[in-house]
Amino acid sequence: MRSVGIIGAGQIGSAIARVLAESGRWSVIASRRKIHEIENLKNFGVEITSDNREVASRSDIVIVAVKPYKAIEVIKEISDLLDRKILISVAAAVPIRKLKAAAPKAKVVRAMPNIAVIVKASFTAYAKEPGLNVKDEAIVVELLKEMGEAQEVDEELMDAVTALSGSGPAYIATLIEAMAYAGLKVGLPREFSYLSSAYTVYGTAKLYLESRKHPAIIKEMVLTPAGTTIEGIFYLEESGIRTAIMKAVEAATKRAQEIATKLNELNKID
């Protein structure tokens, strides 16, 4: 059983720790400064501590899940304990070259999961340092797929990934909320409206993933001449929903790039 350490067991870090421990295939230890806030992780078989160095010394794979401005400081703190170990950073905007400079003897991977890791349905993109061997990459993929789906991307695309799939659950939650409000407006009970909206999003996503039919084809499967769906689609198109979503992702991508630039300017990740 491989040992995994999570440094920074906040929202995402705690979810990763729980998912890995529940799988029964990983021995997990997690740290957080306010250790009392992660006491519940013990219920899932996760060891907890407030000592980052203890996590690093006892782990074959170390996942750093702290805020971006803290990532390099934390990695430097444990760098001497990472010799030949896999280091996975899920901190947004911190590039592999900086991670590698802070931990030159580690095997570095940069990953971006999303909050759906809580229900083992995250989409996690990852980029690896040049020269990471096939065996180590296979271990990384195995670990990331415990949380959902994992795909490799070029590192230069990670800011865009952060904006699309990293921030994506917030966009979809907004859509579900908007659909539920629409249900309320036309007289549906509150709980029914939220549940039906959520299942509609879930079912449509599942249909795409299992059939791989283009979204346009799925849409055409619902449309009928002079029917209810085309009436709704007309108003969605009139409102510019596609443009709004595209602008949201573009703006979030630019913000991720700004954060990276600011961190460099403040010498937070040197």
In a domain, 268, yes or no: no
Residues 30 and 146 in one domain: yes
Residues 152 and 182 in one domain: no
Signed CA dihedral, 48, 169, 24, 81: sign only: negative
In a domain, 176, yes or no: yes
pLDDT at 266: 65
Domain interval for residue 211: 168-239
* pLDDT mean across residues, the chain: 96
Calpha distance 174→159 (Å, rounded) = 21
In a domain, 58, yes or no: yes
Span 204-211, mean pLDDT?
Answer: 98
Q: Model confidence over 239-249: pLDDT tens digits? A: 999 999 999 99
In a domain, 261, yes or no: no
Single residue among 131, 157, 183 that ends a domain in this structure: 157
Query: CATH number of the domain that 43 lies in?
Result: 3.40.50.720
Q: Model confidence over 135-185: pLDDT tens digits? A: 999 999 999 999 999 999 999 999 999 999 999 999 999 999 999 999 999
Query: CATH number of the domain that 181 lies in?
Result: 1.10.3730.10
In a domain, 25, yes or no: yes
Residues 43 and 147 in one domain: yes
Residues 223 and 92 in one domain: no
Three-class SS state of 154: coil
Tokens of 150: 């994992």
Model confidence at 109, in pLDDT bands (50, 70, 90)? very high
233 dihedral zone (left: phi>0; alpha: psi -120 to 50; beta): alpha
Residues 177 and 198 in one domain: yes
Calpha distance 250→163 (Å, rounded) = 7
Model confidence at 263, in pLDDT bands (50, 70, 90)? confident
* Overall number of domains in the chain: 2
Calpha distance 107→126 (Å, rounded) = 13
Q: Answer whether 143's CB lies under 8 Å from 4's CB.
A: yes
In a domain, 61, yes or no: yes
Q: Model confidence over 28-82: pLDDT tens digits? A: 999 999 999 999 999 999 999 999 999 999 999 999 999 999 999 999 999 999 9
Residues 39 and 77 in one domain: yes
Instruction: Give the global pTM.
Output: 0.93
Residues 19 and 146 in one domain: yes
Signed CA dihedral, 121, 137, 63, 30: sign only: positive
Task: Look at residues 67, 138, 70 and name the one whose alpha carbon lies nearest to residue 109.
Answer: 138
Residues 172 and 152 in one domain: no
